Chains A and B, each alone.
Chain A
Amino acid sequence: MGCSSSLPDRASGRLGGLNSENGAVNDAKNLRVKLVLLGDSGVGKSCIVLRFVRGQFDPTSKVTIGASFLSQTIALQDSTTVKFEIWDTAGQERYAALAPLYYRGAAVAVVVYDITSPESFQKAQYWVKELQKHGSPDMVMALVGNKADLQENREVTVQDGIDYAEKNGMFFIETSAKTADNINQLFEEIAKRLPRPTPS
């Protein structure tokens, strides 16, 4: 008897799912975006991704070699979904030689620095220039100051970040992967700024 009761539900659910799939062929509702994270070594690129995708924070995370991939889908208020295909790249300078492999064709680039390290802010500026030169012109770029929880060690002011981002037409936010501050907001804001395919 329990079986009979759940059967119609499942059938109708499947039917509904199929309908929506057939109905929502317009990609304006379901976006798929390639996103690449760039920035100096140890600024917390992997931690931001892990926080966003798995909701975890591991203070003893491993060095990323080459690049690693994760994906995560979020739903926006206007009922569109955005699937982020995230490439988290290695931070050491020489791996920059391989970075084009990953940022080529990416719709979003997130350049991360560590608010306690002016060097990493310099490195972020290098990446922005690199992307302006070699990235695709309609790429959405975000500048992220991570480790915002370490206020007492701050060496890059918020204003510096805002100014540089504004000058380069980027979106700016300070985050903390440790406390999860602004992590989801970062990706939501990016999703809002994505160019939508015009429904024709």
Chain B
Amino acid sequence: MAEKISHLSHTLEPRRDAYGFALRPQHLQRYREYAKIYKEEEDERSEKWKNFLEQQADTSRNCWSERLHKERLPSGVSEHRDGTVSDRPAEGDDPSENKPSDGSTGSSPEREVHSTENLKSDKVPRWANVRPVLGAIENMMSFRIKKAKNVEDDLKGVNGAHLPTVDEVSHSGQTSEEDSEGDVELDEASNGSANSSNGERAVSEGMPLESSFPWREELECLVRGGVPKDLRGEVWQAFVGVRTRRIERYYQDLLAQEASDDEGKALDNSPAVPQKLKKQIEKDIPRTFPGHPALDENGRNSLRRLLIAYARHNPSVGYCQAMNFFAGLLLLLMPEENAFWALVGIIDDYFGGCYTEEMIESQVDQLVFEELMRERFPKLVNHLDFLGVQVAWISGPWFLSIFVNMLPWESVLRIWDVLLFEGNRVMLFRTALALMELYGPAIVTTKDAGDAITLLQSLAGSTFDSSQLVLTACMGFVAITEARLLKLREKHRPSILEVIEERSKKGRVWKDSKGLATKLYSFKHDTSSLVQETKSTERPEDVAADADTSHLENSSHLEDLLGGLAVDSEVDSLPDLQEQVVWLKVELCRLLEEKRSAILRAEELETALMEMVKQDNRLQLSARVEQLEQEVTELRQALADKKEQETAMLQVLMRVEQEQRVTEDARLSAEQDVAAQKYAVHVLQEKYEKAMISLAQMEKRAIMAESMLEATLQYETGQNKAHQAPGSAHNQSSVQETPTRRIGLFGLGWRDRSKGKPEESNESPQKEIGNRELEQQPK
């Protein structure tokens, strides 16, 4: 499945991120913004890791060979001695062949082949070793687990319930047990006293690592910068120590036993997974990353097998909601059996006691976290108190889910990188504190509980800047260490155990975990109850004892408690002292109650003060609002006036414009008239010219006619003279005179008339134009 993911990014619909997880619609935009940054960061860290691993490969070959060689030897011997050699002839045959850095991985192919041969019936469970380059990291981390196993073995003497099936599993199981024991002997000197007390153990834990792994710090830096995507699955396995934890065929046997139990024929006496848990697992499988492309039919089957195998492996935890998400996440990054061992490491070891029936450690962690919050962010916690919000309401789900589904995936994975590397729950606390630091200022501004929680939830849900978050967590809260947490847990565990005890005794009235009255009550009514209580605390501890840490914590805590109660156990012999103790305790309770009431009163007063301040602010605000309101009204008035003016201006402007338009129209029509008249003039001119031409012709004709007439007249006179004698010449001259005069009169009169006429017609159009122009002007 791990391979599938690498191809996912190409086929994803936009609503899923690079890991195939669904994005909330409101985060799509932010995610897209950050996708580029993630890409850049990824490239950068791939480069860094590549360099680091290359460097590791070189150095490990040189300086690690000797030590590891020694380490491998006894295990090889023990295998021989154990008689399992016949099963695996290839392994451990020649210890000298086992080259240190790849000695174990060298034999891995055989192992794999071997296990698959054995498991032809159930073919799906798979196992794969991590790449040899990570061998050095694996080795470093395996120290941690070997130590844990050492302690675990001790525990078995006390509490045989753990790993019930290990002994029946096979020889290989024993081998591996002995294997680890053999290894542990070597560094017994450094941690010989480790299981005597917590504090010492916590201190000694770091020692062999620091001294013998000089590059640990460099690795830590790299881890804080994030593990590259394609290495993550294997690096996580190296961190959790999957290979060291692994007992061959253990996983397959768990499943086989479960299967045969289902068929009704119990193979051994190990308890089957209760039906209730199976039902719960069945309910939760489809509700684990619903719609994730990798969780198809096969993926879900793997998830089911993994959870059932774990439930059988550790009955004190069985199955707890939240593990479905962890198992699902691990399955996305590694083969099924590897995921199983990783889950075993995380739940049994890192989160021992957290997911058991009573969830004791989870509850203790919440009290510890609240104390740290009060220490680090007193103002924020005060504000939350004022709103009536308990820190654990919000941090509880964060811790229980290890931030899965609470933060964007990139951030979740970065936190897991660090958490798995460190091998404890410190990173949980640091991250939660970092979130509070980042979002505290915003939370302080909220006015009611609902708003505060909603805001914090949504802010946390959009913490896309994973680098900022991880760095704030790791750099800003260096003081939060495992040793510190162990101490705080010890301090708070009793109150949780007490509540559980109270609840299991049904007759009692259940009170607030911090209720002093309850303590007083139980103390007054039977003094021995405290002793009883401490006895009963052993029971849940035994349940939680699968995790060595919690057991050790508990045992020393028990010692403390018993030490504190020594007075009570001696009570019977010393009645005076008893009375005194009773009196003192009552007094103490009284004082504590007084203190509590004083604190409450102070809180009340503070609340009242805040209320008053608020009221005051409100009055000021309303005054200011009134003032602003007045200003607004004034401004509005001014605006209205301005608007009126504007409208008036506009009206004037429009009128002017209209007039202009009218004038323009008039001008245009006038121009048209002018053009028409000019045309008329032109026409008239032409007519005039034609008339003139015809007149000239007529004149010519008239002249011709006149000359013809004269000629005719002259001819007639000449004829008359010739016909008549001189007598008659006298008559003729009088006759001749008369027509000449008539013609002359006629001709002149006609000529005059025709001359005057064109002059008149020339004048009149000009007059007309003049008239029109005059007309136009008033317009």
CB-defined contacts of A85 to chain B, threshold 8 Å: 449-450, 453
Q: Closest CB of chain A to B659's CB: distance in Å? A: 27
Contact of B325 among A18, A63, A92 (CB under 8 A): A63
A76 adjacent to chain B (CB < 8 Å):
no
Which of chain B's residues has its CB closest to A10's CB? B632
A92 to B512, CA, bound (A): 23
- Tell me which of B91-99, B178-186, B246-254, B358-366 binds A: B358-366
A98 to B324, CA, bound (A): 19
Contact A7–B636 (Cβ < 8 Å): yes
CB-defined contacts of B286 to chain A, threshold 8 Å: 60
CB-defined contacts of B397 to chain A, threshold 8 Å: 65-68
CB-defined contacts of A26 to chain B, threshold 8 Å: none
Contact B283–A41 (Cβ < 8 Å): yes
CB-defined contacts of B288 to chain A, threshold 8 Å: 62-63
Contact B392–A65 (Cβ < 8 Å): no
Contact A98–B287 (Cβ < 8 Å): no
B622 adjacent to chain A (CB < 8 Å):
yes
Contact A87–B321 (Cβ < 8 Å): no
B112 adjacent to chain A (CB < 8 Å):
no
1/0 contact string of A69-85 vs chain B (CB within 8 Å) = 11100000000000101
A87-B393 contact given A60-B291, A65-B322, A94-B357, CB 8 Å threshold: yes
Which of chain B's residues has its CB closest to A84's CB? B450
1/0 contact string of B339-364 vs chain A (CB within 8 Å) = 00000000000000001111100110
A167 adjacent to chain B (CB < 8 Å):
no
Contact A41–B392 (Cβ < 8 Å): no
CB-defined contacts of B359 to chain A, threshold 8 Å: 94-95, 97-98
1/0 contact string of B166-177 vs chain A (CB within 8 Å) = 000000000000
Q: Which of A1-58 contact B (CB under 8 A)?
A: 4, 7-8, 11, 15, 18, 22, 32, 34, 41-42
CB-defined contacts of B457 to chain A, threshold 8 Å: 68-69
Q: Closest CB of chain A to B316's CB: distance in Å? A: 11
Q: Is the interface of B mostly helix, strand, loop or mixed?
A: helix
Contact B622–A22 (Cβ < 8 Å): yes
Q: Closest CB of chain B to A28's CB: distance in Å? A: 17
Contact A41–B280 (Cβ < 8 Å): yes
Contact B625–A15 (Cβ < 8 Å): yes
CB-defined contacts of A69 to chain B, threshold 8 Å: 393-394, 450, 453-454, 457
A87 to B401, CA, bound (A): 17
A105 to B388, CA, bound (A): 9
Q: Closest CB of chain A to B398's CB: distance in Å? A: 8
CB-defined contacts of A102 to chain B, threshold 8 Å: 393
A200 to B320, CA, bound (A): 50
Which of chain A's residues has its CB closest to B506's CB? A133
Which of chain A's residues has its CB closest to B405's CB? A62
Which of A4, A61, A63 has the most B CB atoms < 10 Å from its CB?
A63
B639 adjacent to chain A (CB < 8 Å):
yes
B448 adjacent to chain A (CB < 8 Å):
yes
Q: How large is the interface on A (under 10, 10 to 19, 20 to 34, 35 or more residues)?
A: 35 or more
A192 adjacent to chain B (CB < 8 Å):
no
B589 adjacent to chain A (CB < 8 Å):
no
B400 adjacent to chain A (CB < 8 Å):
yes
Contact B321–A18 (Cβ < 8 Å): no
B744 adjacent to chain A (CB < 8 Å):
no
B468 adjacent to chain A (CB < 8 Å):
no
Contact A71–B290 (Cβ < 8 Å): no
CB-defined contacts of A4 to chain B, threshold 8 Å: 639, 643
A193 adjacent to chain B (CB < 8 Å):
no
Contact A42–B362 (Cβ < 8 Å): no
CB-defined contacts of A105 to chain B, threshold 8 Å: 388
Which of A8, A15, A61, A69 has the most B CB atoms < 10 Å from its CB?
A69
B510 adjacent to chain A (CB < 8 Å):
yes
Contact B284–A101 (Cβ < 8 Å): no
Contact A60–B287 (Cβ < 8 Å): yes
Q: Closest CB of chain A to B308's CB: distance in Å? A: 16
Contact B405–A65 (Cβ < 8 Å): yes
1/0 contact string of B446-458 vs chain A (CB within 8 Å) = 0011110110010
Contact A97–B363 (Cβ < 8 Å): yes
Contact B625–A71 (Cβ < 8 Å): no
B629 adjacent to chain A (CB < 8 Å):
yes
A84 to B286, CA, bound (A): 30
Contact A65–B325 (Cβ < 8 Å): yes
Q: Which of B62-90 contact A (CB under 8 A)?
A: none
A90 adjacent to chain B (CB < 8 Å):
yes
Contact of B287 among A8, A62, A134 (CB under 8 A): A62
CB-defined contacts of A11 to chain B, threshold 8 Å: 629, 632
B299 adjacent to chain A (CB < 8 Å):
no
Contact A63–B321 (Cβ < 8 Å): yes
Q: Closest CB of chain B to A109's CB: distance in Å? A: 16
A4 to B637, CA, bound (A): 11
Contact A71–B357 (Cβ < 8 Å): no
Which of B287, B399, B618 has the most A CB atoms < 10 Å from its CB?
B287
Q: Closest CB of chain A to B120's CB: distance in Å? A: 35
Contact A65–B448 (Cβ < 8 Å): no
Contact B290–A62 (Cβ < 8 Å): yes
Contact of B290 among A61, A104, A133 (CB under 8 A): A61
CB-defined contacts of A63 to chain B, threshold 8 Å: 284, 287-288, 321-322, 324-325
CB-defined contacts of A92 to chain B, threshold 8 Å: 280, 320-321
Contact A133–B510 (Cβ < 8 Å): yes
A7 to B284, CA, bound (A): 55
Contact B510–A134 (Cβ < 8 Å): yes
Which of chain A's residues has its CB closest to B392's CB? A101
CB-defined contacts of B404 to chain A, threshold 8 Å: 65
Q: List 21 A-B contacts (CB under 8 A).
A: A7-B636, A11-B629, A15-B625, A41-B283, A41-B284, A41-B321, A62-B288, A63-B324, A65-B322, A66-B398, A67-B396, A71-B453, A85-B450, A92-B280, A92-B320, A97-B358, A97-B359, A97-B363, A101-B390, A105-B388, A134-B510
Q: Give me the interface of B with A, judged by CB distance under 8 Å.
A: 276, 280, 283-284, 286-291, 320-322, 324-325, 355-359, 362-363, 366, 388, 390, 392-394, 396-401, 404-405, 448-451, 453-454, 457, 500, 510, 512, 618, 622, 625, 629, 632, 636, 639, 643
Q: Which 4 A-B pairs have the closest CB atoms?
A: A66-B397, A60-B290, A71-B450, A65-B401
